[in-house]
Amino acid sequence: MKLNGDDVRAIAYEARLSLTNAELEGAVSYINNFLEMAGRFKELDLKNVEPFRFAESRECPLREDKPEPFAQAPDILAARCAADAGAFFKVPRIMEE
Amino acid sequence: MRFRSMGAREIAAGVREKKFSAAEVFEECLRTATDCEDRLSALAAVTAEAGRIQAKRVDEKVAKGEDPGLLAGVPVVIKDNICANGIRTAAGSRILGDWVPPYDATAWSLLADQGAVLLGKGSMDELATGVSDGSAAAVAAGYVPFSLGSDTGGSIRLPASYCGIYGLKPTYGLVSRYGMISYGSSLDQIGPFTRSVEDMELVMRVLARHDPKDSTSVSKNEIFARRTNTLKGRRIALVKEFMDFSPTLDQITADAMKRTIRLFEESGSEVIEVSLPTVARYAAACYYTIAASEAYTNFARFDGVRCGRAAEAAGLREMFETTRSEGFDGGVKSRIIVGTYLSEPDCYEKYYVAATRVRTLIAEEFYKTFDADRIDCILQPVTPSLSGKIGELNLYTLTANVAGLPAFSLPAGLQIIGPRWSDGELLDIGLEVEKISGAPKIAYFLQRR
């Protein structure tokens, strides 16, 4: 199945992206090339194949699940986009949507 | 130009033994960078002020008789997607604006703890499309003896190969990614560029540490302890399906393959052919599915709220959309769009879940082949073409990321790929090859005349 410009604009809307005409052309070509390549998966019988995981993920040392002080919190708040929101991250009003 | 051709080990030894100071080394490397930058553009930022402070600290430790670390006074460049506290980090993207991270990436803090001195941030293309080209060029031109890059599908090995230096994509889990701006989280690895195998080993001994801040990090530092100083009896594999592409190889790469195969054979290694049909046919589709899905998730954090660029807008949707549309370039947008599409219910099972199952088949094919044929490493070109289009270049590199394998690119445009946690053995093999072929030289032609 090939996607057209309208399909790709609809997906871009979901991704919170707008596209110039050149970007749209590039994205249509990119996604259709991708879908053609990924169509190869149909050649395989994957019913009894487990999704991939690294064996060592079972060996990963786990730390105790408890809160710890995080010294950089004030610096991270200082680097946020809107710095005038006290101890919070500021977002535009959503009730207008 | 006293320090330009020196390796990291030699510089650190000289600083420790007070033959020269870290400040002297830093100032000369800074001059080299300044002389070459107008032609090379390897650096997204020069960190002269921070570097001078770090170099002074190393010299003070030496003066007091304290241990200045394994990398005492060694200048380094780190890719601009790896955070250093107080240094602007943009990952080649407008979306991060003038963001200054308030913390260090673990990889950088491990180097700094051992006395490394930051000379600058390596330039890169934007986020998902960005190979570690600046970090590689800075080492090739002799700004610094080593640098850090990141490799999601070949972004260390490709520029290392083009620049004629060494680049290591470590086993997935060996080096912490905490503080790196993620692209494909199950594929990304941080790794070094160097001009000698000896320096590669030194840097990896510093970087290979378990980090509780990266849940994929595994404690395996001991893999660099073993030493096998011979190529005799090694089993080196050529992948039949990738050798079938050899008529399309650039002549320079084809010649390098022939020379290196002969080198292994004359050194007593056995060169054999293996077949990896699933890897050859499905690895690229698997890689692009997983990379796009993970990029879509990772780049969702760039929303104009948490950090970086923010557009002025009255409503939430408009603010998100304007920030992201102005902040990302077309290549990144295309990848996000594919990832978004793959997250839709119809596509999730058909493509994303299928790719995770195909990935199991690919990894098993590698593991079984290494095991059954008792293979030390696979030898293959880094890229089928030195002048291919973007997207075609990484056909030979992405396989190691899909299976989480270590891959070491040699200066001749070739790479050796080994089983998981064979990073130390790959360096042993590389060292023996270097003893015969010689280490790469600095690209002096870049110096201003």
Per residue in B65-113, pLDDT tens? 999 999 999 999 999 999 999 999 999 999 998 999 999 999 999 999 9
Average pLDDT over residues A72-78: 84
More confident residue, B2 or B351: B351
Tokens 């070491």, located at residue = B408
In this complex, the residue of A3, A17, A90 whose CB is nearest that of residue B333 is: A17
Asked if B311 has any chain A CB less than 8 Å from its own CB, the reply is no
Best-predicted range by mean pLDDT (A52-66, B65-79, B208-222): B65-79
Strand partners, B274: B239
Q: How confident is the model at residue A71 (pLDDT cuts 50, 70, 90)?
A: confident
Is the CB of residue B192 less than 8 Å from the CB of residue B167? yes
Residue B409: closest CA among B392, B391, B434: B434
Contact residues on chain B for A46, CB-CB shorter than 8 A: 354, 357-358
Contact residues on chain A for B218, CB-CB shorter than 8 A: 56, 59-60
Query: Chain A: nearest CA to B249, how far in angstroms?
Result: 22
Residue B172: closest CA among A49, A55, A63, A62: A55
Average pLDDT over residues B183-204: 97
- Between CA B321 and CA B328 the distance in angstroms is 11
Helix (H) or strand (E) holding B76: strand B75-79
Beta-carbon count within 10 A of A62 CB: 7
Average pLDDT over residues B126-155: 93
Do strands B407-410 and B166-169 pair parallel, antiparallel, or not at all (unpaired)? Answer: antiparallel
Q: Taking CB atoms and an 8 Å cut-off, how many pairs form between chains A and B?
A: 163
ipTM: 0.90
Q: What is the pLDDT of residue A96?
A: 55
Whether B357 sits inside 8 A of A94 (CB atoms) is no
Contact residues on chain A for B359, CB-CB shorter than 8 A: 51-52
Using the predicted structure, report yes or no on whether residue A61 has a pLDDT greater than 80: no
Whether A18 sits inside 8 A of B212 (CB atoms) is no
Asked if A64 has any chain B CB less than 8 Å from its own CB, the reply is no
Is the CB of residue B306 less than 8 Å from the CB of residue A80? yes
In this complex, the residue of B324, B330, B357 whose CB is nearest that of residue A46 is: B357
Task: Provide the edge-to-edge strand list for the sheet that holds B117-122.
Answer: B43-46, B117-122, B75-79, B146-151, B189-194, B166-169, B407-410, B414-417, B377-381, B235-239, B270-274
Write out the two tokens for A28: 């249509």
Q: What is the DSSP string of B376-415?
A: SEEEEES-S-TTPPTTTTTTTTHHHHHHT--EEEETTTEE
Write out the two tokens for B342: 């793959």
Share of chain B above pLDDT 90, in %: 80
Asked if A5 has any chain B CB less than 8 Å from its own CB, the reply is no
Residue B192: closest CA among B166, B220, B219: B166
Q: What is the pLDDT of residue B154?
A: 95
Is the CB of residue B211 less than 8 Å from the CB of residue B221? no
Whether A92 sits inside 8 A of B314 (CB atoms) is yes
Lowest mean pLDDT among B9-13, B216-220, B274-278: B216-220
Is the CA virtual torsion B22, B25, B28, B32 positive or negative? negative
Using the predicted structure, report yes or no on whether residue B448 has a pLDDT greater than 60: no
User: Nearest chain B Cα to A59, which residue?
Assistant: B218
Q: How confident is the model at residue B253 (pLDDT cuts 50, 70, 90)?
A: confident
Helix (H) or strand (E) holding B35: helix B22-40
Q: What is the pLDDT of residue B390?
A: 45
In this complex, the residue of A17, A49, A60 whose CB is nearest that of residue B215 is: A60
| pLDDT digits 0-9 by tens, B313-357 | 878 899 999 999 999 999 999 999 999 999 999 899 999 999 999
Tell me the residue length of chain B.
Answer: 449
Using the predicted structure, report yes or no on whether residue A52 has a pLDDT greater than 80: yes
Lowest mean pLDDT among B174-183, B288-297, B378-387: B378-387
Threshold 0.90, pTM exceeds: yes
Share of chain B above pLDDT 70, in %: 96
Beta-carbon count within 10 A of B399 CB: 28
**Strand extents, DSSP E, B20-69:** 43-46
Interface of A with B in 24-53 (CB under 8 A): 26-27, 30-31, 34, 37-38, 40-41, 44, 46, 49-52
- Between CA B99 and CA B408 the distance in angstroms is 33
Write out the two tokens for B179: 């503080």
DSSP state of A61: P
Q: Is B281 exposed, middle or buried (0-12, 13-18, 19+ CB in 10 A)?
A: middle
Q: What is the pLDDT of residue B69?
A: 98
- Between CA B124 and CA B156 the distance in angstroms is 11
Q: What is the pLDDT of residue B449?
A: 45
Helices A21-38 and B277-298 cross at an angle (nearest 10°) of 140
Contact residues on chain A for B282, CB-CB shorter than 8 A: 40-41, 44
